[in-house]
Amino acid sequence: MNLRILVLLLVFSSCSHMNGGGSKALHPDWSKAQATGDKFVVSTQSERASQAGKLMIEQGGNIIDAFAATSFVLAVEEPYATGIGGGGFLLFRHAATGKVVAYDFREQAPAKAGDKLFLKADGSVDAERSKTGAHAAGVPGLVAGILEIHNLYGRLSREKVIKPAIELAESGFKVSSGFAYTLKESKDRLSKYRGSRDLFFKNGEVLKEGDLFQQKDLAETLRTISKKGRDGFYKGKIAWATVMYLHKNDGLHTISDFVRYRPKKRDPIKGTYNGYTVYGMPPPSSGGILVQQILNTLEGARLGNGMPFDVDNVHKTTIAMQTAFADRGKYFGDADFIDFPQAKLLSEDWAAEHRKLLDSKRALSADEISTAKGFPKEPDHTVHFSMADQEGNVLASTQTINGWYGNAMVVPGTGILMNNEMDDFSAAPGASNLFGAYGSAANKVEGRKRPLSSMSPTLIFKNGEPRYALGSPNGTRIISCVALTTLNLVEYGMSLKNAIAAPRYHHQWRPDELWVEPYFPTKTKDELAALGYKIQEKTWGCKVQGVSWSPGKLSAVADPRGSASALGL
């Protein structure tokens, strides 16, 4: 490693920012954000969830028992980010078979949904309808996904892996400052629905920091799931209560939508970079392909001087992001419903086309990349965790209810907060979603289709052995955060800790602006401005959780930008 890289790594390994800060010299608290282990490691943004995973291993369980327990605890602890009314993805390297498998337990549109769902009578887009209320909710996939995966690979009983979540819902916990903030911000939406008022309000006000948050109904629902398995959620009393409530609020969901919901096992996206093999999530996520497209475009371009913040390298990486996101806007949707040009997008010819733009001596506008239209907005949240064990089982899972508190509806008597994942569809060609992501007809609403996602659980291998598992929350920003962390590891040779701590930047083609974190190097920022980039300095919600694996050496790093919890055993 040359001296310049070393100096740079020392600079940003000692600085970061906590969420929402904006100061340029924040020092992360690494005390809970890194861990090593002989048997097992986990990184999340929640100590309770990490502990639940570790507990399963201590009780004689395996990594999938840990996955299930951690998922259910997160679903109880972070109702603003995830929940059993949501969905997610898992990328799993199964050591016994040596195979990498992708599980899609994404929400699904009700059968009756169609492409006019989010249009007003005059044909314009009704943006609120896809975010709040019954129409915003897809049929949840989380419970079906976790239980099916656990059934296939888990060692402990279903009751054991759900128990920590039931206990947490039953006993409750104190509302943290972050939780209180999201409640305050979401007060108006939540106040519209009785179930949400009952759960999140006290004396007419949303719960405050330090208040006890108990979810007795959710504990009972989880007990039913624990006893009956998926049928406890997708059939019978709970499913009927959910469907009736959605129906009463003008929803299109039927009991058949719930009964028929199935998670899907899919072939992961597989690509290479610099001798590493990178696995990602296929459609309905755009994440795996976009991360690989960014890598493919850059690999042939040779980021020669090894400096991650050299202006030329940031400029090229930004153009690689812009071209990949332009493709996202044009081609992507649920590949079970459209003619999706996956092979073309991942081909060397396609990368070579994109690579031609890298020689530009100035910033490129969205129109120079492509001609479609879109516009921005920005909220936060979702969860990601990564795990590894001594046998070489490695996993990355991202789970969500989409925006804060999903569609804002808690189904009375069940504790289930429904997602607003339907907003990830494109309401009309050219319309954009919560994350400013532009979409085409490829991602239009259709019955039983799954909305396009950016979630990017990623596994990285070298010489046939797993090395890293990664992922993050934060909508479209997930893709750039995961791509940059991957580049930091496989191009710039950083440690996992430095790769996660390094300042980030993001360009999603539209809007025509480059985001940089507050502690992004000033010199590079000035040089980028001189190239014509419209730069926004801001913090955003990516929290990359990673683990690294090599024989006999497991480590975990959770993003110190949040409430990191890395644990080892």
Helix (H, G, I), strand (E, B) or coil at 398: strand
E strands, 344-436, in order: 383-389, 394-400, 410-411, 416-417
- If binding is defined by CB under 6 A, does position 382 make contact with ligand DON? yes
In the region spanning residues 501 to 520, those forming contacts with ligand DON, defined by CB under 6 A, are: none
Determine which residue in the list 133, 466, 473, 546 makes contact with ligand DON, applying CB under 6 A. Answer: 473
- If binding is defined by CB under 6 A, does position 563 make contact with ligand DON? no
Which span (49-57, 317-325, 375-383, 526-534) binds ligand DON, by CB under 6 A? 375-383
Q: Indicate the residue among 473 and 503 with the shorter CB distance to ligand DON.
A: 473
Determine which residue in the list 474, 480, 488, 548 makes contact with ligand DON, applying CB under 6 A. Answer: 474
Write 113-116 long-range contacts (CB < 8 A, 24+). Answer: 113/252, 113/422, 113/445, 113/446, 113/447, 114/445, 114/446, 114/447, 115/428, 115/441, 115/444, 115/445, 115/446
Ramachandran assignment for 277, one of left (phi > 0), alpha (psi -120 to 50 degrees), beta (any other): beta
Q: Indicate the residue among 164 and 475 with the shorter CB distance to ligand DON.
A: 475
Taking Cα atoms as reference points, which of 382, 469, 354 lies closest to residue 63? Answer: 469
Determine which residue in the list 381, 497, 506, 525 makes contact with ligand DON, applying CB under 6 A. Answer: 381
Taking Cα atoms as reference points, which of 265, 244, 263, 258 lies closest to residue 110? Answer: 258
CA dist list (Å): 558 to 139, 307, 392, 486? 31, 24, 20, 15
CA distance 299 to 358: 12
* Residue 475: CB minimum distance to ligand DON, A: 4
Residue with tokens 């590079």: 524
Determine which residue in the list 318, 400, 407, 485 makes contact with ligand DON, applying CB under 6 A. Answer: 400
Strand partners, 388: 41, 394
Taking Cα atoms as reference points, which of 539, 336, 355 lies closest to residue 451? Answer: 336
Determine which residue in the list 454, 498, 539, 555 makes contact with ligand DON, applying CB under 6 A. Answer: 454
Determine which residue in the list 100, 246, 326, 455 makes contact with ligand DON, applying CB under 6 A. Answer: 455
- If binding is defined by CB under 6 A, does position 380 make contact with ligand DON? yes
Task: Enter the DSSP assignment of 418.
Answer: P
- If binding is defined by CB under 6 A, does position 217 make contact with ligand DON? no
Which span (49-57, 162-170, 315-323, 469-477) binds ligand DON, by CB under 6 A? 469-477
Taking Cα atoms as reference points, which of 503, 518, 491, 484 lies closest to residue 318? Answer: 484
Which span (11-19, 122-130, 257-265, 374-382) binds ligand DON, by CB under 6 A? 374-382
* Residue 203: CB minimum distance to ligand DON, A: 30
* Residue 472: CB minimum distance to ligand DON, A: 8
In the region spanning residues 268 to 297, those forming contacts with ligand DON, defined by CB under 6 A, are: none
Which span (250-258, 361-369, 451-459, 522-530) binds ligand DON, by CB under 6 A? 451-459
Residue 280 corresponds to which tokens in the numbers above?
Answer: 């990602």
Q: Indicate the residue among 158 and 543 with the shorter CB distance to ligand DON.
A: 543
Buried b (16+ CB within 10 A) or exposed e, 28-50: bebeebbbebeebbbbbbbbbbb
- If binding is defined by CB under 6 A, does position 402 make contact with ligand DON? yes
- If binding is defined by CB under 6 A, does position 453 make contact with ligand DON? yes
Residue 567 corresponds to which tokens in the numbers above?
Answer: 């644990």
Q: Indicate the residue among 308 and 473 with the shorter CB distance to ligand DON.
A: 473
Q: Indicate the residue among 21 and 60 with the shorter CB distance to ligand DON.
A: 21
- Residues sharing a CB contact under 8 Å with residue 238, sequence separation 6 or more, in sequence order: 221, 224, 232, 414, 416
* Residue 456: CB minimum distance to ligand DON, A: 9
Determine which residue in the list 217, 424, 517, 559 makes contact with ligand DON, applying CB under 6 A. Answer: 424
Sign of CA dihedral 37, 565, 401, 222: positive
Which span (67-75, 207-215, 452-460, 519-527) binds ligand DON, by CB under 6 A? 452-460
Which span (161-169, 273-281, 309-317, 450-458) binds ligand DON, by CB under 6 A? 450-458
Provide the annotated active-site residues: 382
Residue 374: Cβ-neighbour burial (10 angstroms; 0-12, 13-18, 19+):
buried
Determine which residue in the list 436, 541, 560, 562 makes contact with ligand DON, applying CB under 6 A. Answer: 541
Q: Indicate the residue among 164 and 283 with the shorter CB distance to ligand DON.
A: 283
- If binding is defined by CB under 6 A, does position 545 make contact with ligand DON? no
Which span (271-279, 471-479, 501-509, 561-569) binds ligand DON, by CB under 6 A? 471-479
CA distance 46 to 543: 12
* Residue 373: CB minimum distance to ligand DON, A: 20
Q: Indicate the residue among 402 and 524 with the shorter CB distance to ligand DON.
A: 402
Q: One-letter amino acid identity for 25?
A: A
Q: Indicate the residue among 72 and 405 with the shorter CB distance to ligand DON.
A: 405
Listing DSSP states for 144-163 in one string gives HHHHHHHHHH--S-HHHHHH
Strand partners, 532: none
Listing DSSP states for 294-334 in one string gives HHHHHHTT--TT--TT-HHHHHHHHHHHHHHHHHHHHH-S-
Q: Indicate the residue among 277 and 419 with the shorter CB distance to ligand DON.
A: 419
Helix, strand, coil percent content, the chain, rounded in steps of 5 = 40, 20, 45
Taking Cα atoms as reference points, which of 173, 172, 259, 179 lies closest to residue 217? Answer: 172
Q: Indicate the residue among 95 and 482 with the shorter CB distance to ligand DON.
A: 482
Number of residues that bind ligand DON (CB under 6 A): 15
* Residue 569: CB minimum distance to ligand DON, A: 29
- Residues sharing a CB contact under 8 Å with residue 181, sequence separation 6 or more, in sequence order: none
Q: Which residues bind ligand DON (CB under 6 A)?
A: 380-382, 400, 402, 421, 424, 453-455, 473-475, 478, 541
